[in-house]
Amino acid sequence: MRRLRINESIRDMLRENTINGDRLVMPVFVDENIKSKKELSALPGIYTHSPESYMDYVMDLEKNRVRSILLFGVPETKDSKGTSSYDRNGVVQKAIDYAKSSTRMNIVADLCLCEYTDHGHCGLVEGGYVNNDRTLEIYQKIALSYAEAGVDIIAPSGMMDGQVRAIREALDGEGFENVIIMAYSSKYSSNLYGPFREAAQSTPGFGDRKSYQMDYSNSMEAMREIDLDIKEGADIVMVKPALFYLDIISKAKELYNMPLAAYNVSGEYTMIMSAIKNGYLGKDTINEAVTSIFRAGADIVISYFTEALLREKMS
């Protein structure tokens, strides 16, 4: 076996999996309430942007060879029904429009209510419970507003039953049959979303997300979720988080002949970056982590490491 590891160029020739920059997606936060970009304390090196600073930032990303971004917005006003989520002049809608008119990147937009509701849940709350089907009606309105802004891919992350079908029907009904749906199919109720919630200001005001996001102890259920999303019309399915869930990614790749995305979430970035910053781990840990997600079977990897990985490749 050691003949095939003899030197770097032999190892390069025989490498089975590499990080493919075309398949990386960079998450981007836009916050209507700030005047300039702000570094996130739990995500060193990652910024939340003002609508102004976002404009320069997307141009920089494209210069650094980032091919795709995933947009998240924080609106100026929140209410119990998250009405600012489907405002034609909302924070994400404007960000989509700007990125589409000034770059050639693939623009993916996260579709959820937790950034827009005053209670921070991903759907409409009635009697302390997140109502499924009434939430779907709002998701349809958001989807149409994104489509009108010119989005390429809609990524529903709220884990409501039937969300993919509802969004597909709404899009097709209004002539947006070419808008792609990347479904957060197997999204677990994970401890690893903490740093993201600081950026998106989407921490639930009461309770948790366990009545809609998946129990991290389950894997067969993840396959049922993927199965349903495919039947409902998803174009791309997703497993989230990624690093503690490589078994789920691998099983999904084996069982379904579908483009598969994996979300290398905020807490995974934080764990690795804090260890690197403290000198406990080397920088190549980033490559090892992201490569492992591709090796497990992901076709697309959404990661906060995207920008740094692609910038480094260039220099």
Q: Which two tokens stand for residue 309?
A: 């990985």
The size of the interface with Zn ion (CB under 5 A), counted in residues, is: 3
Distance of alpha carbon 211 from alpha carbon 277, whole angstroms: 36
Q: Is 277 among the catalytic positions?
A: no
- 52-78 burial, b if ≥16 CB within 10 A, otherwise e? ebbbebbeebbebbbbbbbbbbbbeeb
Shortest separation between residue 112's beta carbon and Zn ion, angstroms: 3
Instruction: Evaluate whether 46 touches 272 at the Cβ level (below 8 Å).
Output: no
DSSP alpha helix (H) spans, 217-256: 220-232, 246-255
Among the listed residues 193, 212, 294, 305, the single contact to ligand PBG using CB under 6 A: 193
Is residue 240 part of the annotated active site? The answer reads yes
- Is 293 a binding residue for ligand PBG by CB under 6 A? The answer is no
CB of 255 to Zn ion, least distance (A): 26
Which of 187, 210, 231, 253 is an active site residue?
Answer: 187
Stretch that binds ligand PBG, among 106-114, 174-182, 249-257, 292-300 (CB under 6 A): 106-114
Name the active-site residue from 38, 78, 231, 240: 240
Q: Is 200 in the site for Zn ion (CB under 5 A)?
A: no
CB of 217 to ligand PBG, least distance (A): 18
Which is nearest to 196 in space by CA: 71, 38, 43? 43
Q: Does 185 bind ligand PBG (CB under 6 A)?
A: no
The rounded distance, in Å, linking the Cα atoms of 245 and 260 is 13
Binding site for ligand PBG (CB under 6 A): 110, 112, 114, 122, 157-158, 193, 196-197, 202, 265-266
